[in-house]
Chain A
Amino acid sequence: MFSRTTLARALALPIEHSSARSASTTFRACLHQATSTTTTTTSQPEAPLSATPRAQSSIPIQQPRFLTSSNTVPLTRADVPVTKQPVAPTFDAPLKVSQSLLDLLPNLTSQKPHFITAHLHDRPYLLTAGDQLRLPFLMPKVKSGDILRFNRASVLGSRDFTLKGGAQYLDERMFECRVRVMGFESEPLRITEKTKRRRRHVQKVTSKHRYTILRVMDVKVKTAEELLEAGAVVVESADSDANVELKA
């Protein structure tokens, strides 16, 4: 559904996973900001009030590029046990792009702004950068201030160009869409009066749904160079994962 990427604490030092690079069986695209918080808390002397700057830092922590069996679980939060941490996306094949996609992709990436049709629990949401999104459920295990990354999208587009996934979703290595959890809201209490026939009793059913408020931080389509750098392979157009279309 989404991969939670809570960004680094501000002063935490980047951690080098040098050993993880050598032996790699599974393949993972370099999501250059899909990071994890360190579990070590940096102790600052005389810092009486430094809030843990959740996701306020723009310094990404170096994430292992290739995942082995030892580091498949990214540590996103210290208080969540390892077994319940979200599993990082693992890809057993590199991204396949056709030559025609590579030729047309600069048209899409150079035309701003972009929109994305992101899917969450199979509902589509048409989003642009800076939008506020109100999800019709209470998202568990997140706090306000967390950063999530949407990884299911069917359509990416600009004014004149569209990148469509076809029958399946677009590959999540082709775009980045990050949202921030703003908080939780509810609707005003609704009271529905239910009556049965020939019965002088009115049943009052109350409902007060909880919502999750999100804010879209950025919608970014990766350029062809970034895709090739991340290890995409060029294939025949029939095997490609997505196609760019010109709007009619």
Chain B
Amino acid sequence: MPVQGIRTVTAARNGVGAFILQCKRLDFHYCDWAGSSRGMVAYLKHHLPAFAKANPQIEIRVSPRPHKHPVIKGHYINGREKAVCVRNLEPEQIVQKTNLLKQASGEKLKRTKKPVTSLNESVRGIWSPYHGGLKSV
């Protein structure tokens, strides 16, 4: 056996080839009676059909949740979920919240200092002290 292969798995790079939206499901909860759901009910009536048509890759569930504030929950491909309470919000504000949930990646919010993250090796290689311009003592 001169050389053997090591089994690994290729790493996903979403967006390099195909792009898959990370939000896979949105749950809309509302209450028919309570006043804090007034904006949500208007949103469900007037804005949600257009949103669902524009984003067919998101599964949408609408369900009443009596005596509770209205909530939008986003479920993501990495298994996490993000919930936004939309009590007393106007329909236009709910549109923004829905867009926020749709375009999020589902990851936990982190503070990062570096702008670029890469899987690739350094193109130029790593600097070595043993090459070039050696000083003899």
Known: A130-B13, A133-B115, A215-B14. A188 touches B109 (CB 8 A): yes
Chain B CB within 8 A of A128 CB? yes
Q: Cβ of B118 and Cβ of A131 under 8 Å apart?
A: yes
| Interface range, B side | 20 to 34
Chain A CB within 8 A of B103 CB? yes
Q: Cβ of B116 and Cβ of A127 under 8 Å apart?
A: yes
Chain A CB within 8 A of B22 CB? yes
Inter-chain CA distance A56–B123, complex, in Å, is 28
List the one stretch of A22-30, A165-173, A176-184, A198-206 in contact with chain B.
A176-184
The 8 A CB mask of A155-171 against B (1 = contact, 0 = none) is 00111000000000000
Q: How far is the CB of B112 from chain A (nearest CB, A)?
A: 6
Inter-chain CA distance A127–B55, complex, in Å, is 31
Q: Cβ of B103 and Cβ of A187 under 8 Å apart?
A: no
Choose among A132, A135, A144, A158 the residue that contacts B118 (Cβ–Cβ < 8 A).
Answer: A132
Chain A CB within 8 A of B110 CB? yes
Inter-chain CA distance A136–B118, complex, in Å, is 17
Q: Cβ of B16 and Cβ of A130 under 8 Å apart?
A: yes
Q: Cβ of A125 and Cβ of B116 under 8 Å apart?
A: yes
The 8 A CB mask of A115-152 against B (1 = contact, 0 = none) is 10000000001111111111110000001110000000
Inter-chain CA distance A132–B16, complex, in Å, is 10
Inter-chain CA distance A131–B14, complex, in Å, is 11
Inter-chain CA distance A24–B124, complex, in Å, is 43
Known: A144-B103, A159-B123. A182 touches B15 (CB 8 A): yes
Inter-chain CA distance A106–B30, complex, in Å, is 63
Q: How far is the CB of A78 from chain B (nearest CB, A)?
A: 12
Q: Cβ of A132 and Cβ of B116 under 8 Å apart?
A: yes
Residues from chain B with a CB closer than 8 A to the CB of A180 are 15-16, 19
Inter-chain CA distance A135–B110, complex, in Å, is 14
3 shortest interchain CB distances as A-B pairs: A215-B15, A180-B15, A183-B103
Q: Interface of B with A (CB < 8 Å)?
A: 13-16, 18-19, 21-22, 55-57, 100, 102-105, 107, 109-112, 115-120, 123-125
